[in-house]
Structure 1
């Protein structure tokens, strides 16, 4: 049985974040394909973490700059190592190369962190993101990690295009792999609540993620007061994990702005809502909340950044609006017009079925991994830049790690 070691940035929390959902999809792919899977992470366990034992996945707590990780590699002998975000490759990649040089190294970027950060800075400074990310240390770090791996999984076509055209990364070390979703049948979507059975607007998202907090604040201050004037009976339902006091302080029964905290069942609350609002002004990757809205038959209004990478040439399952006034007008229109709402709902199902086919993209991943496994020497020879970056990282990281290990040993 082949073995895959996953080095997680955090414990997967599919009920809290899209990143958690993505990680669970990858873990289940490997399990269903017959791999023995070991999930490891440096972070503490959380109440919301997935029960990996129940799906046959062993877990291990690991530490940074600790030789015990080398022993884990020696004992487990993985055929593949999956790094959850580039920071994990920076910390542990050199140890994998030293202990298991034949193991295929896979990087799941989740989204391009340098792009998300550059867009946030650009938004706040009113500058172009390109000017920021080309001069960013974060960009250099993430791109270097991509080169050092045998394959990087890219969740958005827009990000694939950026890496191929702007950064000239070889296509052989990249694979477009969006969310892996089962097709929705006509009978399934006909069982969902209809227009008259739904009320209110919904916004949902993990509040540890800055774009989500920014969007909710924007709804509260700019979007919702105008919608409420036109739809005085409607409410704005806010859901999200890790809501802090500043989030709950937005709660206002009088204005119909309801902060609920984390939803026990996100599909249930999404199906009760008539419209999902996501005025996302910066970010990267695919917005899980909007895909989940489509799965649950909930049309949405979002921005160009919110929709990026999801619908391609297809119509949106609602509206894409980047100006404040248009966003408000479209939200009211979609909430009020039954026929339009039903038409947009069907469009959402079409997007899911044509753009996120679990069967198709799992097949693509399996084929690419087999191809790399059978031609690993030639594959790595083609990527000389990656081998060169490994050499320099290993020299610097090795000595720094050994220095920290010695300090920790003396302290104990």
Structure 2
């Protein structure tokens, strides 16, 4: 009998728009390799950038918020595993899955630790260091409750696992480290990339709906790019990203070499022709897709410590990590002008991808973890008593709010 996976998406996948879109497709592929038939559902609207899931043999099913029609759908489907795309999806549908399919393994794909990102955003606005009090925000409380309600939460960052286990005392059995799952970069592909001499200008990329990306562009515009232009008056910064709003397009200043390019149909094409990539994030969490895009295309980076977090471990960095605007600009100019330094850091990037994020290093372990849960799910849940508390009716405000909204809408 074929195993079934139901993915409940916070949004429909858009791999050309965000790293999250690529990430969910990586996870779907892993389950398909384990023999699962996959159905993807979401209550979100599709867009022109929505990935056609039928091309990878995934069935799709639009669903509704606060509607018992989902109960009928999930019961009829009877999935073996349900994968929630971010904790917001689990809040909406987790209790329904638990009621209709109690034997289904509930897996949370966190994407990143949203509570950490929120803590850093608030601390940045107050010009303060992130403390435990900032971490204990409402988003964190909701997210950790979701982690406890699920049988397993997939984490993309070792740093975030450490925070959750040490600061919040979450048992490691509930968390599973699974970073970006990438194909290795082959020597034949490297040789086809444009050379240092063939490239020009700087680049940064990121979905503008994501608040850290917009803040990073503002930081470049106000504090970093003017310093670079003083030393490289003919250089340009090309800024790509989906869903640019008026507040983004108004930053377009060609006379200053600051170009808002908008959506990149092919990120590899624009990235491989740039000489240096910027990741000037001042808050955020998880792993940064823009750094992966850069390394895959042989483009060295200058980045902040937030951008670099959990990316390199003990490997050599594919560029420089600088938080001070003056130092950031200095390193950007240095690597832009120094061919030997540029080549050395390009090589570092290939090594990071091939040794740290090679999907072959993670597939067998992930398969074993899912099989282990399948064979001993009851015991696993008995050891997660806090999760049982959060599933108790007295703690399920999301469930009863949903029921009230549904009754009100009739």
TM range (shorter): over 0.9
Secondary structure of 1:129 counterpart: coil
Q: Which runs of 5+ in 2 are unaligned?
A: none
**Preserved CA contact (<8 Å) 1:66 1:405:** yes
Q: Spell out the pairing of 1:8-407 with structure 2 (5 A cutoff).
A: 8-392=9-393, 395-407=396-408
**Preserved CA contact (<8 Å) 1:270 1:293:** yes
Q: Give, in angstroms, the shift of residue 401 of structure 1.
A: 2.5
- Partners in 1 of 2:402 and 2:118 — Cα distance? 27
Which deviations, in whole Å up to 9, do the C-alpha atoms of 1:277-316 show, x marking residues without a partner?
Answer: 1111110000110111011100000011100000011221
Secondary structure of 2:317 counterpart: coil
| TM-score relative to the length of structure 1 | 0.97
- Partners in 2 of 1:141 and 1:394 — Cα distance? 12
- Partners in 2 of 1:133 and 1:2 — Cα distance? 42
Q: Which runs of 5+ in 1 are unaligned?
A: none
**Preserved CA contact (<8 Å) 1:70 1:95:** yes
Secondary structure of 1:128 counterpart: coil
| Residues 1:404 and 1:312: Cα distance change in structure 2 (over 3 Å) | same
- Partners in 2 of 1:112 and 1:145 — Cα distance? 12
**Preserved CA contact (<8 Å) 1:237 1:259:** yes
Which deviations, in whole Å up to 9, do the C-alpha atoms of 1:9-50 show, x marking residues without a partner?
Answer: 001000000110101111122223221111000111111000
Q: How many residues align?
A: 409
**Preserved CA contact (<8 Å) 2:115 2:135:** no
- Partners in 1 of 2:243 and 2:185 — Cα distance? 30
**Preserved CA contact (<8 Å) 1:122 1:132:** no
Q: CA RMSD in A?
A: 1.2
Secondary structure of 1:27 counterpart: helix
Which deviations, in whole Å up to 9, do the C-alpha atoms of 1:65-86 show, x marking residues without a partner?
Answer: 1010001111100000000000
- Partners in 2 of 1:315 and 1:395 — Cα distance? 46
- Partners in 2 of 1:179 and 1:373 — Cα distance? 24
| Residues 1:179 and 1:196: Cα distance change in structure 2 (over 3 Å) | same
**Preserved CA contact (<8 Å) 1:133 1:139:** no
- Partners in 1 of 2:213 and 2:394 — Cα distance? 34
**Preserved CA contact (<8 Å) 1:179 1:356:** yes
